[in-house]
C-alpha cells in the first residue's frame, strides 16, 4: 500500500473538492518558494491551471508516447529523458500515474491529481493541484508537444514537490529518476573507461547484455561528459555534450534485401535514442537520411519505423554509440517472481545508517578501507553462496539529498562497499582485517547508487557499505540478488553472550581463527585421479567442513573457521579427508593447542595419524595459520 506523502490522501481530498471548489495544495503553494531557492525563472511567472492555458485540456492526447515530452527552461533533461523511457513501458507508467482514466478531465474534475514514486524502498503517493508555472501564458518547465496534454507537466510538479521546488530538479541523473519510477536496479557504466569501441569481443558481449536487459523491460539512458567543452555544446556529428538521452530501442537489424537477406542472415546491432529537446539529432552513420539505410530491406525499414524528421529521435550503430557516448545508465527490472519463464532472482533488502559514536564498538561510520583503524566499525551484512558458484548483484543506494539543495547541502555522499570472504561459520561482527580476505571493492563515487555484479564461489561473505571518509553520517539501502536464498542479514553482535554462565557449560574465554591455505598429499605413484581432498576443522563440539577439491594432490583450500572456545585446554584438530564416491578416506590430521602465545604466522605442519597411532606420520603436509586471543572482539 503506497504511503501518503505528507499525509495527504488523494481520495479523501478529492471528495472535498469539485469544479466550483478547486483544490489548492497548501503543502506546495503557487509561490516563488515552490519555484526556486536561488535562481528565479527569466520572467514574470503566473500560475495557471491547464484550462486557463488551453481549451479542452487532457492528461493524455492519443495515448502516451516518448515523443510527448520536451524540456523546459530548467536544466532537467535527465528527468525528461527518464519520462520518455517511462512512456515506453505501460507496466511502469500505470504505476506512476495511477487511476489515469479516472484522473482525466471530466465532470469529476476538481483540480487535484496524484502520482506515485518508488522512494528508498517504498511507493509514495504524492498529491498536487494543477496550478502550473507559466511565462507569457506558456509552460516554462516540462511540456508535451500537444499543448493540451499535461501528464508530463503534472508528473514533473509532483516530483518537484518531493524535492522542495522546481530548481531542485536542475541537474540530476536519468537512472535515479528511472529508479524512482520503477524500483529498478541501476548500473552506471563508464563507456570510455571500458573501451567497448576498441574490443569487438567485449563490445559484442556488452550488446547482448543490453539487448537482454532491454527485452526484459529494462530502461537505458546515456550521456556525454563535457570534458572541457561548454555544457550543451554540440559535437561535429550533432550530439549534445552534458545532456541526457533516452534509449528507445535496441535491435539486431538484418542487412540485405528480399529472401537472400534471410538466408544470408547478416545483422548489425543498432540502438535508437531520443534527445529530450525534441530536435537536434545525430548526423553520422544510420542517421535519418544516411545512405546506410539502403542496406536494409523495405520491410525491415518499415518494422523499425524510420522517419526523416528532426523530432529528436535517431538510430546509430552500437559501435558509434560506444565510441561517442561516455556514460550509460542501465536500469534492470529484477524479476523476483517464482512463477516466470525468465530468470528470477532472490532479493534481500536491508536498510541501514552510518552513525557516529565515541565507542568504537558502537560507531557505525568508519569510512572506506583506507581508514584501517575504523573501517570495520561500519555496518556489516553477511550472506552465503550455497551453489558451487553464483552471480551476485549488489546495489547500494543512499537517501536522495536533492531535498537539501535549498539549504546548500544537496550533494550526495561519496560511498561504496567491499566484499570480504569470511570464515564459513562466522556469526559475529568482524574486528580484524588481518584474518579476512578482501575480494572486491566497488567504485567509490558521490552517486546516489553504486552497483556491482560479480561471480562468487561457494562460501560465506560479508559486504560492508561505507562512506569514503570516516565519521560521515547518512542513510542507505542495500539490495542483494542471488540465484537462491543467500540468508543475507546484518551482523549486529560483537561476540557471544557471556551472561548465562553455568559450571557445566562455562562461557567463551578465547577466540581462535584457523586459516588453511593448502595441503600436499604424498602417496605411491603420485596419481591425483580419484583424490578429492576436503577439510574438517573441529573444536570442542563444533566442526566445519570445506568443499572437496577434485583430483588434486596439492589442493589450495583458502578455507577458514572461527571458534569461541570455553575449554581453553582442549586442542583443535584439522583433518584431511578424500571424498571417494561415498567411501571417505582419512589422509591425516594436525592437532593444535590454540593458545594466545602460539606462533601466528603461516606454518607448514606434518600430517599425523589419529587415535592410538596419533604419533605416526602420514604422507603429506598442511599449511595453515592459527590466531588466538583472550579478547573476544579481537578477531
Reply yes or no on whether 378 is catalytic.
no
| Residues forming a β-bridge with 396 | 450, 478
* Bridge-based pairing state of the strands 138-139 and 143-144: unpaired
| Residues forming a β-bridge with 455 | 391
Q: Are the C-beta atoms of residues 517 and 496 closer than 8 Å to each other?
A: no
What's the CA angle centered on 128, arms 126 and 131, to 5 degrees? 155
The grid cell for 133 is 508555472
Phi, psi of 170, deg, nearest 5: -75, 105
| Exposure string over 95-128, b if 16+ CB within 10 A, otherwise e | bbbbebeebeeeeebbbbbbbbbbbeeeebbbbb
What's the CA angle centered on 632, arms 626 and 633, to 5 degrees? 100
Q: At what angle do helices 151-162 and 77-87 cross, to 10 degrees?
A: 130
User: Can you tell me which residue has the cell 516466470?
Assistant: 340
Q: Are the C-beta atoms of residues 635 and 431 closer than 8 Å to each other?
A: yes
Question: How many CA atoms, within 13 angstroms, populate the side-chain half-sphere of residue 37?
Answer: 18
- 131 by Cβ neighbours in 10 Å (0-12 / 13-18 / 19+) ranks as buried
Other beta carbons within 10 angstroms of residue 26's beta carbon come to 9
End-to-end Cα separation, the chain, in angstroms? 44
Q: At what angle do helices 77-87 and 174-182 cross, to 10 degrees?
A: 40
The grid cell for 308 is 526523416
| Exposure string over 135-147, b if 16+ CB within 10 A, otherwise e | eeeebbbbbbeee
Of the candidates 70, 76, 173, 275, the residue annotated as catalytic is 275
Reply yes or no on whether 431 is catalytic.
no
Of the candidates 114, 165, 243, 322, the residue annotated as catalytic is 243
3-state DSSP assignment of residue 634: coil
Question: How many CA atoms, within 13 angstroms, populate the side-chain half-sphere of residue 295?
Answer: 11
Of the candidates 77, 322, 331, 365, the residue annotated as catalytic is 77
Contact partners, residue 199, CB within 8 Å, separation at least 6: none
Helical spans, DSSP H, in 88-150 = 90-96
Reply yes or no on whether 275 is catalytic.
yes
The grid cell for 398 is 543512499
* Bridge-based pairing state of the strands 3-4 and 122-129: parallel
The residues carrying an active-site annotation are 77, 243, 275
Amino acid at each position: 500500500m503506497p504511503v501518503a506523502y505528507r499525509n495527504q490522501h488523494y481520495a479523501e481530498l478529492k471528495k472535498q473538492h469539485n469544479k466550483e471548489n478547486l483544490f489548492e495544495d497548501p503543502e506546495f503553494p503557487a509561490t516563488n518558494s515552490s519555484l526556486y531557492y536561488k535562481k528565479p525563472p527569466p520572467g514574470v511567472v503566473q500560475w495557471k491551471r491547464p484550462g486557463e492555458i488551453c481549451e479542452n485540456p487532457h492528461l493524455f492526447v492519443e495515448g502516451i508516447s516518448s515523443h510527448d515530452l520536451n524540456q523546459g527552461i530548467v536544466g532537467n533533461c535527465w528527468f525528461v529523458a527518464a519520462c520518455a523511457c517511462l512512456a515506453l513501458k505501460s507496466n511502469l507508467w500505470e504505476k506512476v500515474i495511477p487511476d489515469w482514466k479516472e484522473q482525466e478531465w471530466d465532470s469529476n474534475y476538481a483540480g487535484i491529481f496524484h502520482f506515485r514514486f518508488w522512494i528508498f524502498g517504498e511507493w509514495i503517493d504524492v498529491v498536487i493541484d494543477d496550478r502550473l508555472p507559466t511565462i507569457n501564458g506558456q509552460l516554462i518547465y516540462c511540456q508535451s508537444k500537444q499543448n493540451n496534454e499535461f501528464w508530463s507537466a503534472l508528473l514533473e510538479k509532483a516530483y518537484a514537490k518531493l524535492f522542495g521546488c522546481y530548481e531542485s530538479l536542475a541537474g540530476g541523473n536519468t537512472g535515479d529518476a528511472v529508479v524512482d519510477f520503477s524500483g529498478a536496479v541501476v548500473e552506471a557504466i563508464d563507456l570510455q573507461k571500458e573501451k567497448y569501441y576498441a574490443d569487438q569481443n567485449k563490445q559484442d558481449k556488452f550488446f547482448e547484455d543490453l539487448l537482454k536487459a532491454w527485452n526484459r523491460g529494462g530502461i537505458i539512458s546515456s550521456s556525454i561528459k563535457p570534458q572541457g567543452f561548454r555544457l550543451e555544446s554540440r559535437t561535429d556529428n550533432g550530439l549534445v555534450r552534458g545532456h541526457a538521452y533516452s534509449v528507445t530501442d535496441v535491435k539486431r537489424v538484418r542487412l540485405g534485401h528480399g529472401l537472400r537477406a534471410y538466408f544470408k542472415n547478416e545483422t548489425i546491432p543498432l540502438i535508437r535514442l531520443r534527445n529530450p529537446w525534441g530536435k537536434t539529432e545525430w548526423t553520422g552513420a544510420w542517421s535519418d537520411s544516411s545512405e546506410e539505410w539502403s542496406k536494409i530491406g523495405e520491410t525491415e525499414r518499415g518494422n523499425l519505423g524510420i522517419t526523416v524528421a528532426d523530432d529528436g529521435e535517431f538510430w546509430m550503430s552500437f559501435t558509434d554509440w560506444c565510441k561517442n557516448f561516455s556514460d550509460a545508465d542501465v536500469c534492470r527490472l529484477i524479476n523476483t517472481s517464482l512463477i516466470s519463464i525468465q530468470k528470477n532472482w532472490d532479493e534481500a533488502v536491508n536498510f541501514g545508517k552510518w552513525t557516529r559514536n565515541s565507542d568504537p564498538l558502537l560507531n557505525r561510520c568508519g569510512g572506506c578501507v583506507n581508514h584501517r583503524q575504523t573501517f570495520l566499525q561500519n555496518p556489516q551484512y553477511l550472506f552465503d553462496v550455497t551453489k558451487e558458484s553464483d552471480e551476485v548483484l549488489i546495489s547500494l543506494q543512499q537517501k536522495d539529498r536533492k531535498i537539501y539543495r535549498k539549504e546548500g547541502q544537496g550533494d550526495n555522499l561519496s560511498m561504496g562497499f567491499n566484499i570480504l570472504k569470511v570464515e564459513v561459520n562466522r556469526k559475529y561482527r568482524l574486528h580484524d582485517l588481518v584474518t579476512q580476505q578482501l575480494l572486491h571493492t566497488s567504485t567509490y563515487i558521490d552517486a546516489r547508487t553504486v552497483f556491482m555484479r560479480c561471480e562468487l564461489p561457494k562460501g560465506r561473505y560479508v559486504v560492508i557499505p561505507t562512506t569514503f571518509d570516516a565519521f560521515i553520517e547518512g542513510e542507505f539501502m542495500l539490495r542483494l540478488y542471488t540465484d537462491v536464498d543467500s540468508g543475507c542479514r546484518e551482523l549486529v553482535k560483537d561476540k557471544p553472550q557471556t551472561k548465562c554462565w553455568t559450571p557445566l557449560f562455562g562461557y567463551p574465554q578465547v577466540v581462535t581463527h584457523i586459516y588453511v591455505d593448502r595441503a600436499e598429499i604424498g602417496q605411491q605413484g603420485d596419481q591425483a585421479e580419484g583424490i578429492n581432498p576436503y577439510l574438517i576443522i573441529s573444536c570442542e563440539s563444533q566442526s566445519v567442513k570445506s568443499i572437496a577439491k577434485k583430483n588434486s594432490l596439492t589442493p589450495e583450500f583458502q578455507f577458514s573457521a572461527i571458534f569461541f572456545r570455553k575449554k581453553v585446554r582442549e586442542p583443535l584438530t584439522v583433518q584431511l579427508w578424500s571424498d571417494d564416491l561415498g567411501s571417505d578416506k582419512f589422509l591425516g590430521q594436525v592437532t593444535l593447542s590454540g593458545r594466545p602465545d602460539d606462533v601466528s604466522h603461516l606454518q607448514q605442519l606434518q600430517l599425523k595419524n589419529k587415535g592410538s597411532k596419533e604419533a605416526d606420520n602420514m604422507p603429506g603436509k598442511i599449511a595453515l595459520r592459527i590466531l588466538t586471543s583472550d579478547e573476544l572482539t579481537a578477531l
